[in-house]
Amino acid sequence: MREYYTEQTGFYGSSKPSELLKEYGSPLYVYNEAILRQRCREMAGLVCDPAFKSNYSAKANSNKELLRIIRDEGLHADAMSAGEIHVLLAAGFRPEELLFVANNVSQDEMRYAIEAGVLVSCDSLSQLRQFGRLNPGGRVAVRFNPGIGAGHHEKVITAGENTKFGVNIELICEVKAILEEYKLKLVGINQHIGSLFMESTPYLDSVKRLLSIAEQFEELEFVDMGGGFGIPYHKQEGQERLPLKETGRLLTEVIGSWTRKHGRDIKIKMEPGRYVVAECGVLLGTVHAVKNNGRKTYIGTDIGFNVLLRTVLYDSYHDLEFYRNDSIIKSGETSPATVVGNICESGDIMARDRELPAIVEGDLIGIMDAGAYGYSMASNYNNRLRPAEVLISTDGTPRLIRRRDTIEDLMRGFEI
């Protein structure tokens, strides 16, 4: 028996999918506040140590309203660009609650963070030197490559041998020399080994490595272990969740025994993105055509890869639901069909050869677990409008939290 996520969670609150699309347009990102808050709490309590803090990695979804809720749940945040810092500050985060995890940034971007009072983490010797020249005597963090990577696709493994990220462990002496030269105070070290692991061993191993690097630096105030915590994208097949409690218990043990052994009073941080927001988001759309090309059945929707890029970029899998008269279509014979969007490329595929019931024009589609790296990677390719975003509040009512693009938005920038 398949599990239907929106039914199990009462995802749409007091609304029906068709009402939401009628009110806010199709396609539409829909978020559920109760699920978001639940995931924030799980992360906030991951390690049993009063000095533990979970950052949220804003790149996964930087809708201002969602950021406000995440802050309300007590998380801090990391940013990857001046733009993310700007939005996080606008959402109410204080500068000291942010870490700018910089990668190959310009002097201007670095200066922006310094002037805003946001701590910068440099991930190469050359950027650390540039930081030193801009802000001699300042506080700084350094991102290390612990030598272990993990992730759902080679494109998102961000540590280990083949990666542009982080400073290699062998360069610790050079790091120390630059700190000395510019009188910088190294207050934190961080890592991020990659995105989406479903079993915790590589993460725990990398945590041990980062802690051993921490032993080399006495002034550290925090060690940030990065994100990467996976979510089950195959819920309909009964995929197990990442054992988060067990992972938290093991992390608490590893960190506790390290702090006892070294007598260090240090703050431990993590920076999950996906885990916090993926499951609170469903992408709703409309079926506009069904056709057979050769032996293949194509279900043509208004969800192109300008709206959700993950399936095209990483061959990612998302569970699907189809709705007719606002009920999930569950019964009937199934046959393989490929779900596509409305973009001018054959690669515009949301789901390949899925066993689906007979779908007809006018049916609605829901793409599950679309809250992370959905809207944040959306674009105006083909001059299509990015969708609106709606939040189902804890009382079940919907609220618009970002309007749909307008045709005028497409003309922005030409008024020169």
Residues 248-267, interacting with ligand LLP (CB under 6 A): none
Q: Which helix (H) or strand (E) holds 310?
A: helix 310-314
196 binds ligand LLP (CB under 6 A): yes
- Structure tokens belonging to residue 58: 């804003």
Torsion 327-331-337-338 (CA) sign: positive
Amino acid at 71: R
Residues forming beta bridges with residue 214, ordered by sequence position: none
Q: Which helix (H) or strand (E) holds 180?
A: helix 172-181
142 within 8 A of 126, measured Cβ to Cβ = no
Find the part of the chain contacting ligand LLP (CB under 6 A) among 7-15, 131-139, 252-260, 271-279. 271-279
318 binds ligand LLP (CB under 6 A): no
166 binds ligand LLP (CB under 6 A): no
Q: What is the CA 375 to chain-centroid distance, rounded?
A: 10
Among 39, 71, 274, 384, binds ligand LLP (CB under 6 A): 274
Among 30, 35, 46, 60, binds ligand LLP (CB under 6 A): 60
Count of residues making up the chain: 416
Q: Which is nearer to ligand LLP, 85 or 356 (CB)?
A: 85
Burial class (CB in 10 A: 0-12, 13-18, 19+), 117: exposed
Find the part of the chain contacting ligand LLP (CB under 6 A) among 45-53, 56-64, 84-92, 361-369. 56-64
Find the part of the chain contacting ligand LLP (CB under 6 A) among 4-12, 124-132, 272-280, 339-347. 272-280
Q: Which is nearer to ligand LLP, 310 or 384 (CB)?
A: 310
**Residue 188 CB, nearest distance to ligand LLP (Å)?**
13
Residues 111-150, mask of contacts with ligand LLP (x by CB under 6 A): ----------------------------------------
Among 195, 206, 301, 306, binds ligand LLP (CB under 6 A): 195
Q: Which position among 40, 122, 280, 344 bears the catalytic label? A: 344
Q: Which is nearer to ligand LLP, 3 or 315 (CB)?
A: 315
Residues 349-388, interacting with ligand LLP (CB under 6 A): 373
Phi, psi dihedrals of residue 127, rounded to the nearest 5°: -75, -30
Among 32, 57, 63, 135, binds ligand LLP (CB under 6 A): 57
Taking the C-alpha atoms of residue 362 and residue 364, their distance in angstroms, rounded to an integer, is 6
Residues 5-44, mask of contacts with ligand LLP (x by CB under 6 A): ----------------------------------------
What are the start-end ranges of the H helices in 10-106? Answer: 17-24, 33-44, 64-72, 82-90
- Structure tokens belonging to residue 42: 């799980």
**Residue 378 CB, nearest distance to ligand LLP (Å)?**
12
Among 67, 156, 210, 213, binds ligand LLP (CB under 6 A): 156
Number of residues that bind ligand LLP (CB under 6 A): 22
263 within 8 A of 229, measured Cβ to Cβ = no
Q: Which is nearer to ligand LLP, 78 or 302 (CB)?
A: 78
Residues 209-228, interacting with ligand LLP (CB under 6 A): 226-228
Q: Which residues contact 205 (CB under 8 A, 6 or more apart)?
A: 148
326 within 8 A of 16, measured Cβ to Cβ = yes
343 binds ligand LLP (CB under 6 A): no
Return the residue matching tokens 């938005």: 409
Q: Which is nearer to ligand LLP, 13 or 194 (CB)?
A: 194
Q: Residue 48 in 3-state DSSP? A: coil
Q: Which is nearer to ligand LLP, 228 or 300 (CB)?
A: 228
Among 271, 348, 363, 405, binds ligand LLP (CB under 6 A): 271
Name the residue among 210, 205, 221 with its Cα closest to residue 96: 221
Known active-site residue 344: yes
| DSSP-derived secondary structure letter, 362 | T
Taking the C-alpha atoms of residue 101 and residue 78, their distance in angstroms, rounded to an integer, is 7
158 within 8 A of 126, measured Cβ to Cβ = no
395 within 8 A of 37, measured Cβ to Cβ = no
120 within 8 A of 127, measured Cβ to Cβ = no
Q: Which is nearer to ligand LLP, 299 or 372 (CB)?
A: 372
| Residues noted as catalytic | 344
Please report, as ranges, the residues that interact with ligand LLP according to CB under 6 A. 57, 59-60, 78, 101, 156, 158, 192, 195-196, 226-229, 271-275, 310, 314, 373
